[in-house]
Chains A and B, each alone.
Chain A
Amino acid sequence: MTISTQLSADEQELTIAIQGRFDFGAHQAFRDAYERVESTPKRYLVDLQGTTYLDSSALGMLLLLRDHAGGDHAQVRLLNCNSDVRKILAISNFEQLFQIA
């Protein structure tokens, strides 16, 4: 599992990309990814293109990010979800909380 981040040039948008398994082992790295950013981005993109697996603790981590990004006013988009990831998100009805693309 590797987590990489990229801040847009105008510092408004933070992209967090997760490669490999997104589970409890990613907890600290995922938090660091959005907490250790100098600026305060308005929008967050979580790129799941390279994510092979996602478990319920990953769902919990996404909720933590959403909370960090402003709770009900948060703008968090989940990008490039493969069909397995999409299914797990659908079972938990996370489309009610996140924009899933």
Chain B
Amino acid sequence: MSTARLTILIAEDSAADRMLLSTIVSRQGHRVLAASNGLEALALFQQERPQLVLMDAMMPVMDGFEAARRIKECAGEALVPIIFLTSLTEGEALVRCLEAGGDDFLAKPYNRIILEAKIKAMDRLRRLQSTVLQQRDLIAKHNEHLLTEQRVAKAVFDKVAHSGCLSAANIRYMQSPYALFNGDLLLAAFKPSGGMHVFLGDFTGHGLPAAIGAMPLAEVFYGMTAKGYSMAEILPEMNSKLKRILPVGVFCCATMLNLSFQRRVVEVWCGGLPDGYLYRAASGERVALVSRHLPLGVRDAASFDSHCEVYPLVLGDRLLLLSDGLLETCNEQGQAFAEERLLAVFAANRQADRLFAEIQQSLSDFSAEAQDDVSMVEVVLVDEAALNRPPLDYSAHGLISPNDWSASFEFRAQTLRHFNPLPFLLQLLLEVQALRSQAGALYSVLAELYSNALEHGVLGLDSALKRDAAGFARYYSERSQRLAVLEQGYVRFHLQLQPEPAGGRLLLRVEDSGGGFDPQALLGQTLAPGRLSGRGLELVRRLAERCSYSADGRGICVEFCWSSQAAGDDRFGG
């Protein structure tokens, strides 16, 4: 390998030696700068930036040690090799040369061949250093670029992900700001009916590939929740979307909750996340919410199973969901936090509302390092009035609003098996601007009347089953079995809007094909506290302006009214 032409600085006070060296070095094809003392050498270095220095140790004005120190300082990160020219032989003097920043020695008298070899060797080192520096700068630049991209992506994503209600008073969560890039996703949204959907997901992998599925998932979650779709409709949509867009091998372990404050139940679907827990505050009982399904994005639509487990709740009951990052958090000895430690925190807990903080404490006692891939969320069943629910946001289509019309719908067995008519009906009714402020109450009433008509009327289920927790589960499994094989029956909705001088009125009548019930018994009953059934109709009575039953027990009629002055009485927001 031939050496490239270098500029070499020679600092040597003896004129004869200087001449000799200059001749040797220029014959080897290099450009020579010559200085007769350290100070001159430093000045020449600053002016000409030579790539290599041959430096005599003993010189007047400024000696070679000091000059070497200053030149190294001046060169900064770049390697400018300095070879000391010395007749010194005692070890201590040679050590001083190295300490001053020298890279090698050359003993006098000079040997041309050794000098050439040393210049070549030092040039190799110099190039290596320069390549390393270039690559380091490139990596730093790329990293900076990546962080900027992540910041932008995070800012965009935060707008989508945090459009929900994670800040609601009954939710506590722990998630690092960059958890998204560990593939963790936490979403929560109020349903139009006033309940809440909560979603914790954990994508396979890390970094952008893991974050990429989060956006479409959040959109489906918020979009469909706002339109009044149920969890059983949202989950298959999420699954299909992920299956369609993600490569094989990337999927999302997830748990979704559908919490109903009024009915005091929670529906749970869990696919692939570690056990979550239902913690009953009063008794301290702990029910594991076990993964029963494959993660989202694995199954195709035909074989996806959105079957949920349903649990009755009382005020103060807590649901705790976590990602596997929590259980896999390691301490300095490389042990994992693991389920045993988590369960020990549960066992030691005396005050349910301290549980979340106790888990956090236990985790930080266990491992001093900050964890950036741990996600945990706690949702408490509270009295809905305690939640500061923001008004529903429906985009206005202009000022003209249809206020005088009526419509009737009949949904028959085949449709009832697969289709939830509520989002469709709600969207239609919300074309009436004056009703928008009551959207929550309206949806709740529609939902209650529909499930009443479907479950008791069409499917013939007896709500007395729901007296205890076991019956509760039986009721919901019976519901899905009967619905799956439904051949006959209908649910009818009659909507009638009447303008009035100072506002207007919606009359809503729901009928079904069932055998009917005794309206007097229903209207007269008072709700026993702690009962798991009968909340639905109580709710309808409270939310609607007026509520009456047809004589044959097959139909219910409710009324909503609005006044054109007030924005509407938002009964539901409380």
Contacts and interface: CB of A to CB of B under 8 A. Distances in A.
Contacts of B66: none
Interface stretch (B24-32, B36-44, B266-274, B448-456): B266-274
Given A60-B251, A63-B249, A94-B294, A24 B205 contact: yes
A60 B401 CA distance: 51
A11 interface: no
B194 to A, nearest CB: 32
Interface residues on B, range: 20 to 34
Given A63-B248, A64-B249, A91-B273, A56 B291 contact: no
B205 A63 contact: no
Given A60-B249, A61-B249, A63-B251, A92 B205 contact: no
A57 interface: yes
Nearest to A58: B204
B100 to A, nearest CB: 45
A93 B293 contact: yes
A85 B293 CA distance: 17
A53 to B, nearest CB: 10
Contact of A92 (B249, B250, B272): B272
A96 interface: yes
A45 interface: no
Contacts of A24: 205-206
B440 interface: no
B294 A97 contact: yes
B298 interface: yes
A26 interface: no
B13 interface: no
A32 interface: no
A94 to B, nearest CB: 7
Contacts of B295: 92
A24 B248 CA distance: 15
B253 A56 contact: yes
Interface string A53-85: 000110111011001000000000000000000
A39 B248 CA distance: 23
Nearest to B250: A60
B204 A57 contact: yes
Interface string B265-309: 000000111100000000000000001111100100000000000
The residue among A60, A90, A97 with the most chain B CB atoms within 10 A of its own CB is A60
Nearest to A61: B249
Interface of A is mostly: helix
A97 B298 contact: yes
A91 B204 contact: no
Contacts of B271: 92-93
Contacts of B123: none
Interface string B239-279: 00000000011110100000000000000000111100000
B182 to A, nearest CB: 11
A91 B254 CA distance: 11
Interface string B520-533: 00000000000000
Contacts of B205: 24, 56-57, 60
Contact of A91 (B250, B251, B274): B274
A93 B248 contact: no
Interface string A1-42: 000000000000000000000001000000000000000000
B204 A59 contact: yes
The residue among B205, B248, B291, B292 with the most chain A CB atoms within 10 A of its own CB is B248
A59 B389 CA distance: 40
A94 B250 CA distance: 14
Contacts of B291: 90-93
B324 interface: yes
A91 B273 CA distance: 7
A63 B253 CA distance: 14
A24 B291 CA distance: 23
A56 B291 CA distance: 15
A64 B248 CA distance: 6
Contacts of A67: 248-249
Contacts of A97: 294, 298
Contacts of B204: 56-57, 59-60
B512 interface: no
A67 B204 CA distance: 17
A64 B205 CA distance: 14
The residue among B251, B273, B295, B324 with the most chain A CB atoms within 10 A of its own CB is B295
A97 B249 CA distance: 13
Contacts of A60: 204-205, 248-251
B253 A92 contact: yes
B328 to A, nearest CB: 8
Contacts of A93: 271-272, 291-294
B249 A96 contact: no
A30 to B, nearest CB: 10
Contacts of B206: 24
Given A56-B202, A91-B253, A94-B294, 19 more contacts: A24-B205, A56-B204, A56-B205, A56-B253, A57-B204, A60-B204, A60-B205, A60-B249, A63-B249, A64-B248, A90-B291, A91-B273, A92-B253, A92-B291, A92-B295, A93-B271, A93-B272, A93-B293, A97-B298
Interface of A: 24, 56-57, 59-61, 63-64, 67, 90-94, 96-97
12 contacts: A56-B205, A57-B249, A60-B205, A60-B248, A63-B248, A64-B249, A91-B291, A92-B253, A92-B272, A92-B295, A93-B271, A93-B272
Interface of B: 202, 204-206, 248-251, 253, 271-274, 291-295, 298, 324
